Amino acid sequence: MTKLPPPGEFYAARDDRTNRLSDGTDYRDAAILVAGEREVLSTYAGRVAARTTLNLLSRFARNVDVAFPSVAADDELGPAAPTLAEQSLREMWAADPHGRFGWTRSPDPVSYDCIVAVGNPDLETRATPTIRLDGGGWLARVVRDESVEIVSASTENPIGPVVAGCLGSAEVFKTVVGAPETALTDAITYDAFNHKAHEDVISPAHPELPTSINLGTVRMVGVGSVGSAAAYFLRRLPIEGTLQLIDYDPVELVNLNRSPLFTASHALEGTAKVEAAREFLTGHMDVQTFEDGYDAFTATDPEQADVVLPLANERNVRRSIQYDRPPLMIHASTGQSDVFVRRNIPLEEPCLLCHFPPDTAETDAACAAGGAPAGDESEDEGPDAAFPFASFLAGCFIAAELAKLPFDEHPFVEPIALVRTLTDLSGVGAVMQYASSGSDDCSFCPEEYPEAHRATIEGTRFAHLTGVDL
């Protein structure tokens, strides 16, 4: 195994993508405290929210203290540990061995630049900016400098708590880098089922998460920042079926900044991304890995998948996927701090090439590379740039959309949802959903294609959404 680089070298590589979008002088040395209310941390939702928050903070913050009471560890995900605090710290050190992470019994709030509170712990925050969060079911609640209304539910649905951790961490980042007041969110309830934001607490009638979600065969093309995040959060869902992972890249230090799954050991050993994800999901799903490009994978003549997750943007892979006449597709992309989640029902909604036209440097503002600073190369050639919480949230949204597929009335929302994480999330245009029209110049959508496409996807698990008779 390659020796761990010294801190300066480690952080220069790991934080490269964040530093493309920020000068980094504030977030690097900010002191952050994460505290938790015993009653909340003792619930499934509280543990998920806490672990998501701390995992995410360890990807960009280097100085984090944990002030949790002695509550049981989360038994759904490793590493094993006697308490939630120790378990969280072990996961943080695995992501950043140089990080200054520790447990504190009696924190002094004035010693920190920002405080995150899971629930409403008994903590005198004084003048220190404080982000309070809670999640339950499909809902996430984040409040700044006030008590948070508890929305935790008794059901073991991880989506709301994960979203709370992601949005809360985005508020931390905004706080420590000195974002303007107009960009800060005072209070938000995010409804991850309907992709809507509300300033007040809401009580919608969401369906319960099924105890078993059979997706058949899911093909994930690309296991990078968004793909690995999706795999990480799928581990918390009662998913059944086969997951095909296709990616030719090894884990590198730069990947640690935006993935909840990859560790420093993965990067130093050069572990294949598909193998890191397979190991993480072992015992949860049947995982098949292919450590090569998409075209090489299709040359093996695989059976048609039931769902495709097109999460790569190299080598014109989106064009190849679309020309294979794919079944239902769920995907997400990040553009700096923006998160887009998309659904493509074949022949019913615009195809991949409508969203990402080939052979152009400006493929889509939603692409991670499309938001990089001036001077970067085109999307298919240049490195991408996005904030850690954007990639975590994009992966969570993919997992959430997959969890919704078995419900009878699917689809529930428009095919595109957008969250602008570095804005006031309660503001106009910060959270929206919409449908886009197909491109008149699309090379795939002429009228002669539908019957061939229907024949290709007939028999797949979600073909009925296209009107294919099963």
CATH of the domain at 110: 3.40.50.720
Which stretches in the chain have pLDDT values below 70? 24, 153, 358-385, 446-449, 468-470
Which H or E run includes 425?
A: none
User: One-letter amino acid identity for 120?
Assistant: N
Q: What is the pLDDT of residue 442?
A: 79
25 lies in the same domain as 149: yes
Of 422, 313, 264, 385, give the one whose Cα is nearest residue 17. Answer: 385
118 lies in the same domain as 217: no
> Pick from 169, 198, 227: which residue ends a domain?
198
Whether 273 is in a domain gets the answer yes
Which residues are registered as beta bridge partners of 134?
141
Residue 434 phi, psi (nearest 5): -160, 165
188 lies in the same domain as 226: no
Q: How close are the terminal C-alpha atoms of the chain, in Å?
A: 51
Whether 324 is in a domain gets the answer yes
> Pick from 172, 198, 224: which residue ends a domain?
198
Q: Cα(47)–Cα(42) distance, rounded to whole angstroms?
A: 7
Of 128, 151, 147, 145, give the one whose Cα is nearest residue 49. Answer: 151
296 lies in the same domain as 333: yes
Supply the Cα-derived Rg of the chain in whole angstroms: 21
Burial of 253 (0-12, 13-18, 19+ CB in 10 A): buried
Whether 1 is in a domain gets the answer no
382 lies in the same domain as 235: yes
In sequence order, what are the residues at sequence separation of 6 or more whose Cβ sits closer than 8 angstroms to the Cβ of residue 80? 73, 87
Q: What is the pLDDT of residue 373?
A: 29
Specify the residue for token string 């974002």. Answer: 179
Whether 4 is in a domain gets the answer no
270 lies in the same domain as 299: yes
Q: What angle do CA 334, 338, 343 make, to 5 degrees?
A: 60
Residue 293: give the domain boundaries: 213-406+440-466
> Pick from 150, 165, 198: which residue ends a domain?
198
Q: What is the pLDDT of residue 367?
A: 32
96 lies in the same domain as 42: yes
User: One-letter amino acid identity for 226?
Assistant: V
Whether 396 is in a domain gets the answer yes
Q: Cα(370)–Cα(396) distance, rounded to whole angstroms?
A: 21
Whether 218 is in a domain gets the answer yes
76 lies in the same domain as 45: yes
Residue 21 phi, psi (nearest 5): -110, -5
255 lies in the same domain as 341: yes
Strand bridging mode 31-36 / 63-67: parallel
pTM above 0.85, yes or no: yes
Of 359, 386, 360, 382, give the one whose Cα is nearest residue 371. Answer: 386
225 lies in the same domain as 157: no
In sequence order, what are the residues at sequence separation of 6 or more whose Cβ sits closer than 8 angstroms to the Cβ of residue 333? 226, 313, 339, 340, 342, 364, 366, 367, 368, 394
Whether 433 is in a domain gets the answer no
121 lies in the same domain as 144: yes
Whether 415 is in a domain gets the answer no
344 lies in the same domain as 393: yes
Residue 154 phi, psi (nearest 5): -75, -20
Q: What is the pLDDT of residue 359?
A: 59
Count the domains in the chain: 2
